[in-house]
Amino acid sequence: MHNEHLIRLVSLGILLLSWSVLALVMADPQVLPSPVVVAQKMSELWVSGDLQIHLIDTSIRIIWAFSLAMTLGGILGYVMGRYPLLNAWLDPWLIVFLNLPALVLIVLCYLWIGLNETAAILAVTLNKLPLVMTLIREGARNASSELRDLAQVFKLSPFHKFRHVILPELLPHLVAAARAGLSVIWKIVLVVEFLGRSTGIGRQIHTQFSIFNITGVLAYALSFVVLILFIEFLIMQPLERYATRWRQDA
Amino acid sequence: MLEVDVQNKVFGKQQILGSCRLKLQAGERLSILGPSGIGKSTLLRIIAGLDTAYEGKVNRPVGIAYMFQGPNLLDWRNCYQNLMIFHREASQAEAQAALEQVGLGDKGLSYPRQLSLGQQRRLSLARTFLSKTDLVLLDEPFTSLDPKLKAEMLELTRNLLDQSGAALVHVTHDAKEVDILSSNAVELQGSPATLQYPIPAAVIQTLDE
């Protein structure tokens, strides 16, 4: 385990080193600034308070879209997995939304609803929703009918059945959907901000792009990567270990 | 106590069960014998109220415990929880006593996947008998066990039945189990399957062979 951590650190070090060497070889900070220059820019943005403002705005949009997509996708995916007739009705819609390009959804949301927060959050939610529905549907389909029989014959109340049978069975699928969904949200939310918001990391990347400031683009982008890593290692991975802890004893 | 009058059970276009009638008094034990795939489990599910798509009528007691072919445990809950979730009135001391009865006294905090197959069946047995129940339904729960373990489990089940005083309906294709668990046996046979009884001792002997 310690070896694995070491390998990961060394691997990250090699990436930074390669970047530094490439920046040195190109010798043009306008095109490829070194990691040190980008880190200095991040530090400046942090000290000025700009970075926090935009990170918080982006995070709020992520939290909204994530919560909505997980709740709606969880419920819809579950009922589709449990009721074949409902699945037959909703599956064509799911296929359409799964294959609709993210950009189309974003543009349509902005055109129909306006350049506002509602449209931005809805666009991200709609992009993530089909993925969550698909994963939860599979979880519901794979759920054990024997355990439902068990709950019925021992007369578990609907609440206890949900708490002790349905939810724990779905939990690994919910965590998988959350992780896969977050990876979609990371990508979409920046595009949504890039195209139609006045704040957020995506907007700042747009601004830096328009003045051809690659150091600024990289500084904002890397700040966002740090945020993603923070959520991945401090929230998602521990959550996944918790959800599957009984499997690790096998 | 239990009155079963099933006239017809269909899967798709195929009629699985024909006339199946039986009556059971409190504490009475009955085995239903029949080859694999004849519809024994289907009949037991109807008796339990798990299958309601049939023609006929079943009057069953309120307190029913059911032991399935597989151990059917909640892998994400420990042994105590696997008992107490299904018997909400039971205390942890009662759950501990039930575990001790089946030889799992030191496994209360273990998860099912940490148990051997035999131990999982024991836990399932403890869950079946933890609360006072009027009727126990056994759906070939020991089929996949090796002969030695199966004999142990049958013995343990009989002891628990003796202590509880519950009535029993037990389906099996193994006539040897009848002697150990039941006082009566009926046979499910034909297509669609119907209950034939009583089974003469000679038939049980033939089935045994």
* Nearest-CA distance B78 → chain A (Å): 9
Q: What domains can be seen in chain A, in order of their start residue? A: 40-244 (1.10.3720.10)
ipTM: 0.83
Q: Tell me, what's the pLDDT at B197?
A: 66
- Give the integer Cα–Cα distance in Å for A178 and B120: 32
pLDDT tens digit sequence for A59-89: 999 999 999 999 999 999 999 999 999 999 9
Q: Is residue A167 within 8 angstroms of chain B, CB to CB?
A: no
Residue type, A213: N
Name the strands in the sheet holding B29-33, side by side, starting at the edge strand that comes first in the sequence: B64-67, B135-139, B167-172, B29-33, B184-189, B194-196
What six digits make up the tokens of B46?
A: 């109807």
Q: Is residue A241 within 8 angstroms of chain B, CB to CB?
A: no
Domain extents in chain B:
1-63+166-209
* Nearest-CA distance A161 → chain B (Å): 9
What band does B198 get if pLDDT is binned at 50, 70 and 90? low
Q: Tell me, what's the pLDDT at A161?
A: 93
Q: Is the CB of A147 less than 8 angstroms away from the CB of B49?
A: no
What band does B152 get if pLDDT is binned at 50, 70 and 90? confident
Contact between A107 and A196 (Cβ < 8 Å): no
Quote the longest CA-to-CA distance of chain A. 74
Q: If you count residue pairs, one on A and one on B, with CB atoms under 8 Å apart, how many are there?
A: 52
Q: Tell me, what's the pLDDT at A241?
A: 83
Q: Looking at the partner chain, which of B66, B87, B114 has a beta carbon nearest the beta carbon of A153? A: B66
What six digits make up the tokens of A136?
A: 């939860």
A159 pLDDT above the threshold of 90: yes
Strand, coil or helix: B110:
coil
Among residues of chain A, what percentage have pLDDT more than 70? 98
Contact between B28 and B182 (Cβ < 8 Å): no
- Give the integer Cα–Cα distance in Å for A22 and A16: 10
Mutate to test the interface with A, among B45, B62, B68, B75 (most CBs of A within 10 A): B75
Cα distance between the two ends of chain B: 34
pLDDT tens digit sequence for A30-53: 889 999 999 999 999 999 998 999
Of A244-248, B33-37, B205-209, which one has max mean pLDDT?
Answer: B33-37
B189 pLDDT above the threshold of 90: no
- Give the integer Cα–Cα distance in Å for A65 and A121: 5
What six digits make up the tokens of A232?
A: 């991945």
User: What's the mean per-residue pLDDT of chain A?
Assistant: 90
Q: Which residue of A has its CA nearest to B66?
A: A153
Q: Tell me, what's the pLDDT at B209?
A: 47
Strand, coil or helix: B1:
coil
Residue type, A170: L
Q: Tell me, what's the pLDDT at A243?
A: 78
Strand, coil or helix: B27:
coil
Q: Is the CB of A249 less than 8 angstroms away from the CB of B111?
A: yes
User: What's the mean per-residue pLDDT of chain B?
Assistant: 86
Residues 161-200 of B with CB under 8 A from A: none
Query: If you average pLDDT over residues A131-138, what whole number do you get?
Result: 94
Instruction: Give this prediction's pTM.
Output: 0.77
Residues of B in contact with A171 (CB under 8 A): 76
Q: Tell me, what's the pLDDT at A1?
A: 54
B200 pLDDT above the threshold of 80: no
Among residues of chain B, what percentage have pLDDT more than 70? 94
Query: If you average pLDDT over residues B73-97, what whole number do you get?
Result: 91
Residues 84-113 of B with CB under 8 A from A: 85-88, 111, 113
The domain B1-63+166-209 is placed in CATH, from the list 3.60.15.10, 3.40.50.2000, 3.40.50.720, 3.40.50.300, at 3.40.50.300
Q: Is residue B132 within 8 angstroms of chain A, CB to CB?
A: no
pLDDT tens digit sequence for A175-232: 889 988 888 888 899 999 999 899 999 999 999 999 999 999 999 999 988 888 888 8
B76 pLDDT above the threshold of 80: yes
